Amino acid sequence: MGSRPTLMIADPELIKTMNIKDFHVFVNRNDFTFGDPLQDRSLFNLIGDEWKTMRSIISPTFSSGKMRSMHPIIIDCVHKLVDNLRPKAMSGEDVEMKKTMGNLTMDVIASCAFGTKIDVYNDQKTNEFIVNARKVFRGNVWRIWVFSILLSISQKLIHWTGFQFIDPSAQRFFGQAVKSILAKRKSEKVQQKDYLQLMINALNRKNVDNDKEPEVDDLNEDIYGKTQSIESNSNSKPGTGITDVDILATSFAFFVAGYETTGALLSLVFYNLALNEKCQQKLYEEVNGLDGKYDYESVSKMPYLEACIAETLRLYPPIGAVNRYALEEYTIGDTGLTIPKGMMVNFDIYSLHHSPEYYPNPEVWDPERFMPENRDQLTPYTYMPFGTGPRNCVGMRFALMEAKTAVAHLVHNAGRHKSRRWRCRCGCHHYCQQFRNNLLWTLCSHVLIADYILLSMPSVHYIGVHHKIERYVRLWSSHGFPQKRLFPPYYQL
């Protein structure tokens, strides 16, 4: 961040060693605080023993048994989506999938993480939850830039100014909403079957592992790797647990991490299915083989559905890299290179996912890569859409459950052919969609923005992103799109 040097790692063996064997050296994502409990108490930002304690409490709430108990909530949300799409399908109306899938994920998160029922399809402008949720993701670009600039100058500026990159009014709304729901839940004798209730049980020191929910073999380790456990510090003070603030921070992190990512995943799955009718047919036959009975176990055991989602996550990973910082001086394998204490390290997910060394024809969407008969060809630690090691995405199981359930129901209920007017929002060409979903911000109106501002970012970030953009420049050029360079390439800086 700022002028701080960052090392990029894209070797699978080094990634394995640094994230598994030597995880104790690279346990933390950052070494600064936001000065805001909503951010600082998030599992994503906690460091050291506080992270270990919180992770050991939260991980059991994402077990397969707990996911199975929440699956009916997901099905209910998907049924509402199907009911909303059915009249549009009957009339032949086109559907903007990114917005539609975003509505689904918002409905799911509101129901599971906040225990709130919303009418996301008919109450977009007046529902307070929806209005404030959209504030978190829209209209905050300037806040992110200002926050980055302040952080690059000095971390103390963040605390002195109290500046946050999330709209304060949205934070206040979610804080008050969760407090109100917690107070209501604590006074009720009947327990709900949602994620918020699991967090309340943890708050009340109820062992979530004592719930008699049968475990399900739902996570394919050949694809996503083995789930690494982490134990909390045995020297923690007695009574250490979670607070109301932790529940708020966790619910908010659930929303931030699960809304845009899962919505984009679903829209891109259907986007690629629309362009590959043979794949559509194969998935349709697999899904219809269950005759509409899509319980948790059935959805978890569809190999081609699993392959379609896994390949989409490979081609369009939710994040391009995961970062850690070294807690001590560290020598990289037998290279003789030494990482000094406090140096940032980025594990380059995007480059691995798009490397022809590990994935032949890497720019081609091909679910067959992840079919059972081909999984022995996958190289471990070259596929990390949810990160890897003990600090991987704790919500991975939930995200996959939501995506598989939505795709299965929609493929079963909807048509299998793309619209004749299929195109991305800007109306250019379908490659724009690929470009759009792999950059943080994209302006596209028949003019390609080949570079974009990287304020307060180190040169290694500029080089990495520049190479990524140049690849899309060549892709667009091959299809006759004009180019316009706004900023010089890194070698001219």
Helices (H), 92-140: 97-112, 128-137
What tokens were used for 173? 């709304």
- Candidates 110, 46, 42, 43; CA nearest to 76 is 110
Q: In angstroms, how far is the first alpha carbon of the chain from the final one?
A: 18
DSSP-derived secondary structure letter, 348: E
Q: Please tell me whether 112 is known to bind a ligand.
A: no
Mutual orientation of helices 244-275 and 303-315 as an angle, nearest 10°? Answer: 100
Answer whether 440's CB lies under 8 Å from 457's CB: no
Burial of 44 (C-beta count, 10 Å sphere; 0-12/13-18/19+): middle
Answer whether 236's CB lies under 8 Å from 56's CB: no
Answer whether 294's CB lies under 8 Å from 316's CB: no
Strand ranges inside 349-415, DSSP E: none
What tokens were used for 282? 């194969």
Cα 408 to Cα 400: distance, rounded to the nearest angstrom: 12
DSSP-derived secondary structure letter, 237: P
- Candidates 41, 37, 33; CA nearest to 172 is 37
Task: Using DSSP bridges, classify how beta strands 344-348 and 338-339 pair: parallel, antiparallel or unpaired.
Answer: unpaired
3-state secondary structure 224-235: HCCCCCCCCCCC
Q: Which amino acid is at 53?
A: T
Question: How many residues belong to the chain?
Answer: 493
Q: Which helix (H) or strand (E) element contains residue 183?
A: helix 168-187
Q: Which helix (H) or strand (E) element contains residue 251?
A: helix 244-275
Residues in binding site for heme = 393
Residues in binding site = 393
